[in-house]
Structure 1
Amino acid sequence: MSSLSEEVSSLAEQTGFAGVVSVTTGDEVEYAAAFGLAHRGLSIPNTVDTRFAIASGTKGLTALTVMSLVTDGKLALSTPVRSILGADLPMIDDTVTVEHLLSHRSGIGEWYSETGDVRDYLLPVPAQNLLDSEQYLGVLDGHPQDFAPGTRFTYNNGGYVVLGLIAERVSGTPFHSLVVERVCEPAGMTSTEFLRSDTPESRTALGYVEMDGTWRTNVFHLPIRGAGDGGIYSTVDDFRAFWPAFLAGAIVPADRVASMIRPHSDVPEYSLRYGLGFWLRDTEVMLEGYDSGVSFQSAHNPTTGRTYTVMSNTTDGAWPIARHLAGA
């Protein structure tokens, strides 16, 4: 019978995986290994402490930031977003609440569609024009409401950008700093932060997209700095710290945790359910992200204490190994 190390190494070789894999149970590290290059031009290898963009994995951290503001009484799940947006984004229905956005049940028009080939995604404005939350107003506007709030689940990136904007406005703190202060610091995520794609950083992987047989960076595909819907950078060790801290109530109290990992929607097309910011699969709680030059999945089983995290700096790199670990 082959070992976990042999199985993952074989998959990595077969698929050309570039990234990091970690499997832990409680405080015990069962497996941790890095593959491929963080910088292809300079032949800099990935290491187990390399930081990777995690795309929509950010949404769980955004949800926790918002829930911490709910805990502090600065927001309520029932707060109409119109009361904070004012005259901005007039096409968002006046009855949309914070909870609708958190649960992807708002029905607001989508600014960034996830259909077709992720490599073909094009931003509606130059990447450098999307740096701070307020700058997203222009791209969020002009999209009609798709359906009545609360009537169904439809995954929505724009809703989480709006959540980041709301959190910033009610707290008076820039969103990027707010996530670090309210989530990363209490969780012990010392390497997690929103980085600019145009600023070189140490032990940070560039995202790569294969186009016409050539590997190119994803700098033109994504905003120069992430927002509430995605784009934070992190490490496998930070997610090893995150899950027990989150579930133990170190970020928000236990009753808030319970509401976030309670199913709010069934998503049968993915054989998953969705809470508030978190995917739910059988007994696992999960975050994942996917974008041009980015793939990420981290899943935790509260019953067994097992966590696996796969981070990759290619578009599809994480999935074969993540599927294998999910079935292990």
Structure 2
Amino acid sequence: MNTENKLNHLEKVQTELLFSGAFYAQKGNEILKGSSGFANRSEKIANLVNTRFAIASGCKIFTSVAICMLAESGEISFDTKLKDCLDTEFPHFDNDITIHHLLTHTSGVPDYFNEEIMDDFETLWKSRPMYHIRSPKDFLPMFQYEKMQDHPGSPFQYNNTGYILLGLIVEHVTKSSFTGFVEEHIFRKAGMTNVGYFEMDRLPERTALGYIEVPEGTWKSNIYSLPAKGGPDGGAFVTVEDMGRFWQALTNHELLSKDMTQLLLNPREVVDEEDNIYYGYCGFMELDDSKKVVKYIQMGYDPGVNFRSVYYPETKTTIIVCSNESEGAYELLKEIENTL
């Protein structure tokens, strides 16, 4: 199947899936990209390949790269303890929590959004106005005085609070805002010109609104469902092509040295032994039976946000799918994988 036929096929798949968003895929010299649906339903503004989409937890890897940058400069290490990084008091936190624990979701800190207990992110904002959440420190009342949910070094349990703490560490060490540091030292270095941690009430041009389907079959936007501004645990806005640039810059060692990049990409914690899914500082990954990485996996889910991305190191194949609805990215990504 030639490139034109592949694109025609994927256009039909988007229609069948009622997909709203954009995709980008590169394998060797072949590039596939496209879009469908609306960035703004009320105004009938179409999604484009260069539309900016929220990616929820898909941007945790930016936080990890920022931490690796500080480790590479010698300002912190992965064994540095949380209590030695911040002036903030956490009276019930274990003194042995390290940066490694936070990066790998093994710290045991109380998760402000524990997905084993809660399944609706919107419920967080019923008693706490989301428009006040605009920086990492704004999350502190949600977990600062809570008790540990497990001990440091406990088995992998996905934890958003850990990444808020990593963002606070970046701010403390660099004396700058977390988002400002990432935008200057990661986005600019990688040539990602259309990305940012935009505020929900100040979205720039070509930014898709997120949409949530409601029971009566209509839709509402997600402006009251998410923090006003994203940060270290999620919430950046990207284009699909800029995420492709990120993986290119990362794997070409433009962001970190070769050795530090490898530390970032190494598998560390077992997530699902049966399916060979592991977690490293960079996120999820699938291994083969010889424990070699087959692909790196990024994902992000929020109300009105659905993001999936994979990178195959053997063939340097990159696939990115962003949706401004709550579902659809995974299904389209699997079809692109099959097509390639």
Q: With structure 2 as the length reference, what TM-score do the two structures score?
A: 0.91
1:17-28 aligned within 5 A: 17-26=19-28, 28=29
Q: Bigger shift: 315-324 or 92-101?
A: 315-324
Q: Does 1:114 find its partner at 2:115?
A: yes
Task: Summarize the Cα distance change of 1:4–1:41 in structure 2 as closer, same or farther, 3 Å threshold.
Answer: same
Cα pair 1:110 1:143 within 8 Å, conserved: no
Task: Summarize the Cα distance change of 1:110–1:253 in structure 2 as closer, same or farther, 3 Å threshold.
Answer: same
Secondary structure of residue in 1 paired with 2:85? helix
Long gaps (5+) in structure 1: none
* Aligned counterpart in structure 1 of residue 240 of structure 2, from 221, 236, 240: 236
Whole-angstrom distance in 2 between the partners of 1:119 and 1:147: 22
Cα pair 1:25 1:305 within 8 Å, conserved: yes
Whole-angstrom distance in 1 between the partners of 2:214 and 2:170: 37
Which residue of structure 2 lines up, in the alignment, with residue 206 of structure 1?
Answer: 209
Cα pair 1:20 1:33 within 8 Å, conserved: yes
Q: Bigger shift: 53-62 or 180-189?
A: 180-189
Secondary structure of residue in 1 paired with 2:309? strand
Whole-angstrom distance in 2 between the partners of 1:202 and 1:54: 17
Identical pairs, percent? 32
Secondary structure of residue in 1 paired with 2:197? coil
Whole-angstrom distance in 2 between the partners of 1:281 and 1:91: 35
Which residue of structure 1 lines up, in the alignment, with residue 157 of structure 2?
Answer: 154
Deviation at 1:227, TM superposition (A): 1.4
Q: Bigger shift: 106-115 or 83-92?
A: 83-92
1:1-328 aligned within 5 A: 3-26=5-28, 28-115=29-116, 117-118=119-120, 120-123=122-125, 125-212=128-215, 213-268=217-272, 271=275, 272-282=277-287, 283-328=294-339
Secondary structure of residue in 2 paired with 1:322? helix
Task: Summarize the Cα distance change of 1:47–1:195 in structure 2 as closer, same or farther, 3 Å threshold.
Answer: same
Aligned length: 327
Cα pair 2:122 2:226 within 8 Å, conserved: no
Secondary structure of residue in 1 paired with 2:320? strand
Whole-angstrom distance in 2 between the partners of 1:127 and 1:267: 31
Whole-angstrom distance in 1 between the partners of 2:278 and 2:67: 21
Deviation at 1:147, TM superposition (A): 1.5
Deviation at 1:141, TM superposition (A): 1.9
Deviation at 1:201, TM superposition (A): 1.5
Whole-angstrom distance in 2 between the partners of 1:255 and 1:238: 24
1:87-127 per-position Cα deviation (integer Å, ceiling 9, x unaligned): 42322211100111011111111101225544654335211
Deviation at 1:30, TM superposition (A): 2.6
Q: Which residue identity is paired with 1:149?
A: P
Whole-angstrom distance in 2 between the partners of 1:9 and 1:92: 50
Task: Summarize the Cα distance change of 1:90–1:326 in structure 2 as closer, same or farther, 3 Å threshold.
Answer: farther
Q: Which residue identity is paired with 1:33?
A: G
Q: Bigger shift: 161-170 or 263-272?
A: 263-272
Whole-angstrom distance in 2 between the partners of 1:7 and 1:233: 28
RMSD between superposed Cα atoms in Å: 1.8
Whole-angstrom distance in 2 between the partners of 1:326 and 1:275: 23
Q: Which residue identity is paired with 1:9?
A: E
Whole-angstrom distance in 2 between the partners of 1:315 and 1:269: 28
Cα pair 2:113 2:121 within 8 Å, conserved: no
Q: With structure 1 as the length reference, what TM-score do the two structures score?
A: 0.94
